[in-house]
Amino acid sequence: MKDARDRFRLYAEECQRHLQILQRNLQRLADRLPLTAETVETLIESDEGLQVLDQIAYRYIKLQDTLGKLVRAFFALKGEPVERMTMIDLINLAEKLGYPMDEALWMRLRALRNEITHDYPGSHAEVAQAVNQLVQRLPQLQAFLQALQRAA
């Protein structure tokens, strides 16, 4: 088993990779932002547009999953007893220590995961709203990631 420092480094690198790919794909939509239900409908009608939306959803899910692992590895590295702590406990600890994340933001970011992956007729407005919120929230997620990396 790798030690906490190695796990932290691996998760940080993985987060950066997901973040970069996510940002590149969001950039491909920049001229269409903020998205509307009609824009999403047009995007999913083309293979390229659907691939961009799928990549955004996939990378966002992977980014948030890996960020959760990174937070756990970060606190293990700092000597905190993380084995029995829930993710919300870890987020609350991060907030208490002054990191730019809180329970409400984390839960909103979690909710975006479900909203961004809606794949049924009539859900275009929800997908558009979720992508638009992701664009707005991504700097906060990135700031949290950078703060953990600086402090590690």
152 and 72 in contact (C-beta within 8 Å)? no
Domain ranges within the chain, ordered by starting residue: 4-151
Decide if pLDDT at 61 tops 50. yes
Cis peptide bond prior to 34, omega within 30° of 0 = yes
Burial class (CB in 10 A: 0-12, 13-18, 19+), 67: buried
Decide if pLDDT at 36 tops 70. yes
Q: What is the pLDDT of residues 86-116, one digit of tens each?
A: 999 999 999 999 999 999 999 999 999 888 8
Query: Residues near 88 by Cβ (< 8 Å), separated by ≥ 6?
Result: 103, 106
123 and 37 in contact (C-beta within 8 Å)? no
